[in-house]
Structure 1
Amino acid sequence: RLNAEVGALKTATTNASQAGALLQVMDGGMNTINDILVRMKQLSVQAGSDNLGATERGYINNEATALAAEINRIATDTEFNGVKVLNSATDLDFKIGSGAVAAEDDLTFTTSDNTLATLTGGGATAMDSKANADIASASIDTAINALQTNRAAVGVNQNRLEFAAQNLRTISENSENARSVLVDLDVASEMAAFSSKQVLMQSGIAMLGQANQMPQNLMRLLQ
């Protein structure tokens, strides 16, 4: 049973490490989306100024449109082991314990939808006019706040997984030590039993030898 427990703990530790890697992939994608949103915010402020003409504002709008498409591409294409992790709200269960009680042995994390339409709450991001640039600026603020909320959830679970993995390694090490002690005790017990039997056998042989010599000793006395 202890061997099975040690093996299960090692597997749970691996699960926790892989779950941590998944969250790192998510955070990396979100970090890139955040950088793009920051750039879009700068563009919206620039496009909202009257010192720009229609031509310059058109260039800004083209860049903003391309950046919006890139956000959606990142959200749609970011995956871990075939699982999309940034474009929908999906529950992922990580087995980080050796038992079968979900509340104690599982960590459930819900992914988030980080496409631009979801982050902005449906707000417009076009910057082809001064008025639209102001609307886009407010929409981008909403998107940045929503993204930070999503990243905070990832960070919370990253920290939890780190502590869970640390605890699993400690339990696994202690269980392995306990198993080794039990094995050593079994070996010591068998060696003690073997030594005891060996002593008894040697004593028996010695007594048998002495018994064989008794007739000879009696004959010498009679002579």
Structure 2
Amino acid sequence: MGMQVNTNLAANNSYRNLAATQNDMSKSLEKLSSGLRINRAADDAAGLAISEGLKSQVGGLTVASRNAQDGISVLQTAEGSLNEVQSILQRVRDLAVQAGNDSNNADSRSAIKTEVDSLTKELTRIGESTNFNGTKLLDGTSTSLSFQVGANSDASSQIVVNLSGANVKGIATALTGAASGATGSAFAIADITALTVGAATFTSTTAAGVTTSVTTATLSDAVGGAGFQSVDEYATALGADANFAANFSVSVTRDGNGAGTGITVQALNGGVVSTAVAPAAGVALGGAAGTAPAGVGLDFTSAAGAAAAITSIDAQIKNVSTARAELGAVQNRFESVIKNLAVSKENLTAAGSRIRDTDMAEEMVKFTRSNILTQAGTAMLAQANQSNQGVLQLLR
């Protein structure tokens, strides 16, 4: 190889290797300082796409876990109020049992009725005031609540909580016999013996045009298949039906002697009760639809009325127990969701870490190598730059 001045191939070679080494050292410094193996798409395009997807899932699961915890708070708020509702209903039932004793005179039964009226007002207040973050839970306006407990948009990422059975305001309406503005229909029962055991259908229509039709289960008479013996017995069977009690209330209309002559059915949603299908053909269940009869509610004026009240209250206690059981089951489900989300979040975070995080020990080895090569390359570049100094000897 000849001696040249214009082109120093050894210096160019040393500079190229030194530049590559400095580039590697710069990348190692970036990874060591950030702790990330992938700092830009050029580092690992496929790994970046996967890790960003995992990051979205981890973030979604974090928020979903908080949503589930909020769901538990909502259910605890509702269930806590229902606990007091059940206590009130138990007290009302005790009063109904007390009123069933004919040792009570009219004044005593009136005093019992006064306490019951006060307790039902408290039920109404609980139904209207129980809320979470402004959302009322027990007044019947929120029949269901949806909670996002997953990171995705599919149905499996949501849990819907049914609150239709937790209508405390409706329970209060059923106990008082009528809600403000509620419209009902009076049905005369001319021949009680024709009311054989069977199902009955009642339909209500609200001012907004919403129609609710409910068919009861097979109504059982107390005698056991011999047919209903009184209007009170039939009304008690209606009130004990869960589907009926969730949408309607029933009271007995009486003549001057206190004998039951018919029933008054009112819709808890304020709708007009327009039709009624009797359990047996030819039974005269009819009357002027759209009238607004005075609410009778629980009757404590006689032993028979108190017995009917006990049955009605038992039905409401059962409804509240069912609603509380459902809320408790969903609460346990939320707790399982939170545990599952924590495990999923941990595993997805680990997967993202394996893809994106820097192995500090390995990267330090690379950095040390690049650092030594940089120093060596710098020294060799200096030597290469001095390699053509021998030409000066020829020029002397």
Q: Which amino acid aligns with 2:138?
A: L
Range that drifts further, 158-167 or 1-10: 1-10
Does 1:48 find its partner at 2:100?
Answer: yes
Partner of 2:303: 130
Does 1:197 find its partner at 2:370?
Answer: yes
Find the partner of 1:11 among 63, 72, 79: 63
- Give the CA deviation at 1:203: 2.8
Question: In structure 1, how many angstroms separate the alpha carbons of the residues matched to 2:67 and 2:95?
Answer: 43
Structure with greater strand percent: 2
Aligned residues: 215
Does 1:177 find its partner at 2:229?
Answer: no
**1:18-37 correspondence runs (5 A):** 18-37=70-89
Question: In structure 1, how many angstroms separate the alpha carbons of the residues matched to 2:174 and 2:138?
Answer: 11
Does 1:68 find its partner at 2:120?
Answer: yes
Question: In structure 1, how many angstroms separate the alpha carbons of the residues matched to 2:152 and 2:174?
Answer: 38
Structure with greater helix percent: 1
Relative to the length of structure 1, the TM-score reads 0.85
Q: Which amino acid aligns with 1:202?
A: Q
* 1:61-82 deviation per Cα after TM superposition (whole angstroms, max 9, x unaligned): 1101111121122122211111
Range that drifts further, 110-119 or 185-194: 185-194
Find the partner of 1:57 among 106, 109, 112: 109
Does 1:149 find its partner at 2:322?
Answer: yes
- Residues 1:183 and 1:192: Cα distance change in structure 2 (over 3 Å): farther
Unaligned runs of 5+ in 2: 1-51, 176-238, 240-244, 251-296, 389-396
Partner of 2:41: none
- Give the CA deviation at 1:50: 1.1
Q: Which amino acid aligns with 2:320?
A: L
Secondary structure at the counterpart of residue 147 of structure 2: strand
Question: In structure 1, how many angstroms separate the alpha carbons of the residues matched to 2:364 and 2:298?
Answer: 80
**1:111-130 correspondence runs (5 A):** 111-112=163-164, 113-114=167-168, 115-116=170-171, 117=173, 121=245, 122-123=249-250, 124-130=297-303
Question: In structure 2, how many angstroms separate the alpha carbons of the residues matched to 1:181 and 1:192?
Answer: 19
Question: In structure 1, how many angstroms separate the alpha carbons of the residues matched to 2:76 and 2:152?
Answer: 26
Question: In structure 2, how many angstroms separate the alpha carbons of the residues matched to 1:66 and 1:154?
Answer: 27
Question: In structure 2, how many angstroms separate the alpha carbons of the residues matched to 1:170 and 1:150?
Answer: 31
Unaligned runs of 5+ in 1: 216-223
Q: Which amino acid aligns with 2:147?
A: F
Give the structure with higher Rg (CA). Answer: 2
Question: In structure 2, how many angstroms separate the alpha carbons of the residues matched to 1:25 and 1:53?
Answer: 41
Find the partner of 1:77 among 109, 121, 129: 129
Moved over 6 A (4+): 209-215
- Give the CA deviation at 1:93: 1.0
- Give the CA deviation at 1:181: 4.2
Question: In structure 2, how many angstroms separate the alpha carbons of the residues matched to 1:147 and 1:118?
Answer: 13
Q: Which amino acid aligns with 1:164?
A: V
Secondary structure at the counterpart of residue 185 of structure 1: coil
Question: In structure 1, how many angstroms separate the alpha carbons of the residues matched to 2:110 and 2:63?
Answer: 56
* 1:132-152 deviation per Cα after TM superposition (whole angstroms, max 9, x unaligned): 211111110111111111111
Range that drifts further, 114-123 or 82-91: 114-123
Q: Indicate if the aligned counterparts of 1:64 and 1:127 stay in contact, CA closer than 8 A.
A: no
Task: Calculate percent identity across the aligned residue pairs.
Answer: 37
Does 1:97 find its partner at 2:150?
Answer: yes
Question: In structure 2, how many angstroms separate the alpha carbons of the residues matched to 1:75 and 1:211?
Answer: 91
Q: Which amino acid aligns with 1:35?
A: S
Q: Which amino acid aligns with 1:129?
A: S
Q: Which amino acid aligns with 1:40?
A: V
Partner of 2:181: none
Q: Which amino acid aligns with 1:23?
A: L
Q: Indicate if the aligned counterparts of 1:20 and 1:161 stay in contact, CA closer than 8 A.
A: yes
Partner of 2:36: none
- Give the CA deviation at 1:101: 0.7
Question: In structure 2, how many angstroms separate the alpha carbons of the residues matched to 1:61 and 1:212?
Answer: 111
